[in-house]
Every structure is written in C-alpha cells, then in structure tokens.
Structure 1
Amino acid sequence: MSAQNEFAAARLSIAEAGNILNVSLDTIRRWEKKGLVKAHRDKNKHRFFNFEELKRLKTKLSGENNIGFKILTSEQKTPFKVVELFAGAGGLALGLHNAGLGCEMLVEIDKNAATTLKINKPDWNVINSDIGNIDFSLVKAEVLSGGFPCQAFSYAGKRLGFEDTRGTLFFEYARAVKQIKPQIILAENVKGLEKHDNGRTLSTMLEILSELGYRLAYRILRAQYLDVAQKRERLVIIGVRNDLQTHIAFPREQDYTISIREALHNVPVSNGQNYTDRKKQIMQLVSEGGYWRDLPEEVRKKYMGASYYLSGGKTGMARRLSWDEPSLTLTCNPAQKQTERCHPAETRPLTIREYARIQSFPDSWQFHGSVGCQYKQIGNAVPVNLGYHIGRCIIAMLNNSFDEHNMVILSER
C-alpha cells in the first residue's frame, strides 16, 4: 500500500491532513467552522479528519466535483400510513411521502398553511382545525409524526405524568399517541429543546412517552449533511411501541454538503422582499460571506444601534451568504435585522423560490398567502430532504430491514 493510500485509510490529525492536501491548518479549521467538513472525535475526544472527505471537499471547492442539488424520492411505496400533527406547509409530510410513506391525515391550525397543503396535495386528508378539537380514537396509522412547540411544564405535581402537561401542545401530541397507538412515533423540534429548562422539559416528554408504551431515543440531526443546502439543526425523537421487535434508526450523516450555488442553479424567478434604499446602501458594503464587521465603523455603529455594544458574535446582522457554503438556517423573515439572509451576489433578500430551494421543496410546491406569510411557512418547515432521510429510517424500522451505510442503528430492541 502506498503512503498516500495509507493516509487515505487513516484518521488524520489536522496537521497530517494539511500536509497531504497541501493546504494550511487555518484553511481546514475554516472549512470545519463553516460546516463544510466534519471533525470526528475518537474515544479520547481527540479531533481527527477523514482523508476522503477532505479530498472530496477540496475538489468540490475547485469546481471539479459538485454533488448537485436534487430532491430525494423513492420509487418504492409502502402500505404504511402517517398521521402528522402541526403539519405546517408540508416539509416533513412531503419528505415522508417521498420516502414511500402514505398520508392518512394532516392537522394544521393555520389557514394559509392548510391551504398550501390542499393546493399541492388535493388527495391528502388535511384537517384545518385546533388539534384539541380532534378525536383520534378511531384513526388508524402505523406512524404518528409532528413538531409540537416546546413549552415548559409545572414540576410541582410531576408525579401526575401525562395529566401534568394538560394545556400544552405536547399534551395534544401525547393524547394522539395514546388514542392512535401507532407502531412508530416521530417528534421534531428545535435544537434548543435539549437544554430547555436545564433539560427538564425534554426529560419529562421522554418519560411521558415511555409511560405510554414506547422505547425512545433522540438525536440532533444536521441538515447540511443530509442533502439540504442549509446549516439547520433539528432535535428528532423516535419512539417504537414496546411490542414491536425492531431497532431504532437515525439517518447517517453524509460526507458532503450542498452549496447555495448548487441549490439555486436555474431557480425560477419569484416574488420576495426588498430592502429600503438605505438598507441596500449598507448591504452593498458587505462582501460575499461577510457580515456587520465588513461595515465602516461609523456605519456599523449607526446600523446596529444598541446591539453594537452587546457581547456575542451577532453574526446574523448584515449577513451576506456565501455561494460555496450551505445557507445559514432560514428564518421567517430574510430581511430581519438580527438574522439577515442576503443573496450571495445580488444586494437583496432571498426570494420565495430561493427560500424553498434551500429548504429542498420542489419548484412545483406553491405557498398560499402574502409574501410575508409564505416566508414564514417556508422558514418554519422541516427541510424536505431531511424528512426523506427520516422516512427511510422509519420504513426500515417497520420492515425490520436496515441499510447500515445510510443509517445509524441503535442496538436496543
């Protein structure tokens, strides 16, 4: 085996990787910080890099080997049905559908989001209602999914368990679990749920779902390594009914990312927000990939106001995205001062269709309502391709047949 092949098979320190690739250590650190490549950890918590990942990234950044953006779909459809709560504009639902799962029912209280679902999938059973008004006792489905808002609970009477959460949207999710008794439950939320109220909120949720008859695991999934051109992280809980003899599986992160350049190739022209003349003048001073630190000192102070004197990086302010990286996490408003999402080359916010591409919605997926309402629907959605990867894991669990190359399979049954 040649020295090059020996390195390719090894776990490389940052110094070794720099020597082999002929790039500086600062370059590799910058790639890691930007989320373009993963730093792995061994059992001693030492950082190392995979040679093939670094080599692939270097080639990609040279323009020689782009993975290319695509919306993932499976030709194999299954008989398994999903009930989804808090369905929004359909990012998770469409991803699960693309993976091969069928739709039994979707519940969404927002009228515009529910209309979005009905326009795009008229054959789906969309219920535009407050979830508290729905009786699930006669509903049959193998899977229950949903992204309920995170709310703290009272711990004074924690011994009451399920009843303690009454009045919260988690209670409604748990009530649906109790009434439907699906084989698999899926819940997704913001990364911050893991540490919400010092971890007590998540702990209580897991305890209650366990009491309802499920064994559970959760992971924070990074969309940028799962075919989404966006550095978006979501906490995903998967539960298996205790009588189902199967493993729990989560998507395995890929060794590549999708850049904004790839995602926005030939994107359709569409509506979007505009900057005021003053805002445009300020943003024109920010280079690709830059943010408020690119501004002249006096402009910076005036633009940022009181935020200028606060601690923290404030990296979302006056932020222009970079062509060769995944996007920062999309928010409900691309022109919002604290979470700017300016186009990499043009001095304007991302448009509706650009937003949708970065969330891996197909160009045919239409959003109902005002421009502001459409941004909100897209910004709140689960990326479709992330939903696809989760869906493939759920199907594997239901079939008890796993793809170890693309899944992290937990040993407990």
Structure 2
Amino acid sequence: MDCSLSYADILKKGDDVLIPGHSRRYFRKPYLKALSFFSGCMGLDLGLEREGIEILLACELDRAARKTIETNRPDLAIIGDIRDYSATEIREKAGLSLATEIDIIVGGPPCQAFSSAGKRQGFNDERGNVFLKFIDLITELQPRFAVIENVRGLLSAPLQHRPHEMRGKNFPSLSQDEKRGGALLFIIQRLKEAGYSISFNLYNAANFGSPQQRERVIITCNRDGEKLPYLTPTHSEKELYGLTRWRTLQEALEGLPKDGHHFVKFPEKRLKYYRLLKPGQYWRDLPTDLHQEALGASYHTGGGKTGFYRRLAWDKPSPTLVTHPAMPATDLAHPEEDRPLSIEEYKRIQEFPDDWIITGTLLDQYRQVGNAVPCSLGRSIARMLLTYLKGETPIVYPNFPYSRYHKTDDVSWMVETLGELEETLGKQLSLNLI
C-alpha cells in the first residue's frame, strides 16, 4: 500500500487493507515518553495520554486495530508482530537514539494463553511466547517503568499446563512447573534479574471511575528497584473512605443520541424472552415454566448462568464487556430496548471519546472495544507513576477491596504461592523474589 495515502483515502478503502508499519512522523520531545505494545484500539494509551504521558510507538498485529490507530493517531510509529523487531529497531521506529531514556513501556500481551476459560497452555502457547518476547524487550530497552496488564488467570497459571483428566491418584504428582502460579513467578524472576522491582494487584476498573466491572491484573515495574505503590482508588461500591459511589451505566450513556446506533441483532426466538424482562433482570426472572424452554440444553449445565438473557441495569456499572454482545452465555442486552448494546454504547462504557473512530466491520469494532483496557484504569496507572516521580506520598486506603478476590496483591500472593510449592523450591525463590 502507498504510504502517502491520506487518512480519508485509508477510510475509503476496504477493511482488509493492511496499514504498513512506519516510523514516528513527528519529532518533538515530550516530557514523558511511552512505547505501547499489544495496543489494540488504544484504551490504556488514551488513559496515559490524558494524564500527560505521550505515546510514541504502537505495536499491533490486528489489521482493524492498526487501521484504528492510524486513523486516530497518524503520527505515531506503528509496528506489527513484536517478534519481528529487535530493541534497536524499535528505538529507530520510535525516533529514539540509543542514548535517549525511555520512560514507560506498557502492554497487555494476549491473555488467552492464561485465561481460565481456555486451555491455559501458558508459555507453551504461541501467544504465551509473545508474552516472553515482551518481557525480553523490557529487559533490553530498560525503560524507567514497565506496566503489564493481563487477566486474573495469570495469577494461577502454571508454567506448564497438565490437562485435568491427567491428574489424580492414578497419575504422577504435579511437577513444580505444573503448579499454580508458576508462570507469574517465572515472569517476576526474569524482571528481577534485570534489576526491576515488582508490584501487582488485581483491580476492578469500577473502583477507578470506570462504569464497568472489569477485573485485570496490573503489574508495575521500577528500574530503580524501589517498589511502586498500588493504584489509588477514586470510587467505591459502598462509598468506603468517603469515595464516590461506582459510576453507573446510566451515567455512562447520558447524552448519547438515541438514533444512529450500530449493533448486531438477537435472533427472533430469543427476543421472545427478552420482551418479558425488565432492566437488570436475566433468565431466572422469566416465568418459571419458560426457564428450560429458554435455555435449552444449557438449562442442565452447572453454574448460575448469569449471562443468559441478561438485560443490563441502569443503576449499576456494566458487567465486563465481551468481544460479542449477543453470545447466549454472555449476553449484554440494552436495559430497555430489544437489542444488544451498540458499538456506540460500548465506546462510552470503555470511556473512548465519541469521536474516536473504531474501524473495521461491526464485529471487528466489538472485538477491539471489548478487548480494550478502560481509560480510567490507564489514567490511574499514570497518576500513580506521576505521584511517584514527583516524590509525593500516595493516598492509601487500608484493606481496600480492590476486586472481588482476596490475596491478589503481590505480597499475599507470593506467600500463598510459595507455600504451595515444594519447601526447598520455596526457600530458593523466596530469597530472590520477596
């Protein structure tokens, strides 16, 4: 493709056009310089930008997401597969000399390798290997700070996965590599060997101003070796410490025009049941005699099945946005209208500006926004780093429930994880990691 095409030309072309990689197109020197990897449609990056941290380079392989980046931030350097670039080449693309300090590297490596919903192949998965490449680049580029975002499953993922049907009394005991937490321990050890301190926790984005309950592990690394503080919450479900109550879906969608929405449709056979539900209700709120009929074969499966026939509530944050709002087990239906959430509503919930253009087919757009990091979480990360750089004391709320889960902070997690490993390995790792 001709790199001289205008961005209007790019938008007119088909969605299968691959935006070519290119170097940064401007060369002013911002106060704080960041490189972004696995950038998607730039939710995390927008959060950093809003606090004054400037993104110089985006790394993204997905065609639709690359077009989104090029459309909205044409001056950024763009690169593709992270495995195709050396640290030196990345510096060149970003317009940075070998002597120029990189302030921050951020990235959310593909999470499917560690998700509890998948096969959890960890670093044996191709996507897991991309994660390791990202760690290698951090250690080679030596930024002052590194931020890694991932799913909750990373906290329990083993270094090597053994299928559940191959466990039990008829099989050998799990090896050290097969025990829970091994993947994260491996990452921590690699980063510590490169001189970085590590701090992490599991954070619910709703506690930081997002109108969405979305839990993600945020790992922050400091080259100076001093441990960085946890993020400071700005909101609370129960207004703990006098914080503002969680933002609601109604607040997020306020002022959004009612017309001009783009959305996938529910099949007519499912709309029959949606028309019987009110805001905040789901399949259990249907007449009892319709439960089995509505769920079909899923009626006999375990779990609460809370995503089936789910209408969102106006007065609560949205559930975690998924990459398709009309899949039967993870429905995200409008509170009142007989349709899934629109892409315009998705953008509001993930806190993208209304004029932020998400490119590609409708399903491409849902995927990009559904995979994004809420902008509020990005802003909270930036505020923590800026507070640290200014030498200011962060606000700490003792025993604050950052998420639904306990012992997800680095200190508690380390003690519990090492306790589950063999005693000899635990002693060895504790010397290096705690």
Of residues 373-382 and 169-178 in structure 1, the stretch that sits farther from structure 2 once superposed is 169-178
Residue 249 (structure 1) shift: 4.1
Matched with 1:50 is none
Residue 299 (structure 1) shift: 3.0
Aligned counterparts of 1:398 and 1:277: Cα–Cα separation in 2? 56
Q: Using a 3 Å threshold, how does the CA distance of structure 1 residues 186 and 131 change in structure 2: closer, same or farther?
A: same
Query: 2:69 aligned with 1:117, yes or no?
Result: yes
Matched with 2:22 is none
Aligned counterparts of 2:126 and 2:276: Cα–Cα separation in 1? 50
Aligned counterparts of 1:112 and 1:199: Cα–Cα separation in 2? 34
Q: Report the aligned-residue RMSD.
A: 2.8
1:103 counterpart SS class: strand
Task: Encode CA deviations 1:103-152: one digit per residue, 9 max, x unaligned.
Answer: 1211000011011011111222222x111001123625211110012436
Matched with 1:7 is none
Match for 2:366 among 354, 358, 375?
375
Aligned counterparts of 1:369 and 1:164: Cα–Cα separation in 2? 27
Matched with 2:86 is 135
1:225 counterpart SS class: helix
Unaligned stretches of 5+ residues in structure 1? 1-76, 153-161
Matched with 1:248 is 229
Aligned counterparts of 1:163 and 1:110: Cα–Cα separation in 2? 22
Q: Is the 8 A contact 1:165 1:171 kept in 2?
A: no
Matched with 2:78 is 126
Task: Encode CA deviations 1:271-304: one digit per residue, 9 max, x unaligned.
Answer: 1111222221111112211111122344321332
Q: Which amino acid aligns with 1:251?
A: T
Matched with 2:395 is 404
Aligned counterparts of 1:166 and 1:281: Cα–Cα separation in 2? 40
Pairs within 5 Å for 1:233-382: 233-241=215-223, 243=224, 247-254=228-235, 255=243, 256-268=245-257, 269-382=260-373
Matched with 1:14 is none
Aligned counterparts of 2:386 and 2:271: Cα–Cα separation in 1? 48
2:202 counterpart SS class: strand
Residue 266 (structure 1) shift: 1.4
Pairs within 5 Å for 1:56-205: 79-127=31-79, 129-137=80-88, 139=91, 140-150=101-111, 151=113, 168-197=129-158, 198-205=180-187
Residue 99 (structure 1) shift: 1.3
Aligned counterparts of 1:251 and 1:124: Cα–Cα separation in 2? 30
Matched with 1:217 is 199
Q: Is the 8 A contact 2:232 2:394 kept in 1?
A: no
Residue 90 (structure 1) shift: 0.5
Matched with 2:384 is 393
Residue 381 (structure 1) shift: 0.2
Q: Using a 3 Å threshold, how does the CA distance of structure 1 residues 393 and 351 change in structure 2: closer, same or farther?
A: same
Pairs within 5 Å for 1:38-57: none
Q: Is the 8 A contact 2:110 2:128 kept in 1?
A: no
Task: Encode CA deviations 1:251-280: one digit per residue, 9 max, x unaligned.
Answer: 334222111111101114321111222221
Q: Which amino acid aligns with 1:199?
A: G
1:251 counterpart SS class: coil
1:299 counterpart SS class: helix
Q: Is the 8 A contact 2:200 2:230 kept in 1?
A: no
Pairs within 5 Å for 1:19-30: none
Aligned counterparts of 1:229 and 1:163: Cα–Cα separation in 2? 35
Task: State TM-score, norm by structure 2.
Answer: 0.70
Counting aligned pairs with the same residue, the percent is: 35
Unaligned stretches of 5+ residues in structure 2? 1-28, 92-100, 115-122, 159-179, 236-242, 401-409, 412-434
- More relative contact order in 1 or in 2 (CA 8 Å, sep 6+)? 1
Q: Is the 8 A contact 1:183 1:244 kept in 2?
A: no
Q: Is the 8 A contact 1:137 1:179 kept in 2?
A: no
Q: Which amino acid aligns with 1:261?
A: Q
Q: Which amino acid aligns with 2:285?
A: D
Higher strand share: 1
Residue 89 (structure 1) shift: 0.6
Matched with 2:4 is none
Q: Is the 8 A contact 2:201 2:230 kept in 1?
A: no
Of residues 292-301 and 182-191 in structure 1, the stretch that sits farther from structure 2 once superposed is 292-301
Q: Is the 8 A contact 1:223 1:230 kept in 2?
A: yes
Q: Using a 3 Å threshold, how does the CA distance of structure 1 residues 101 and 325 change in structure 2: closer, same or farther?
A: same
Of residues 218-227 and 300-309 in structure 1, the stretch that sits farther from structure 2 once superposed is 300-309
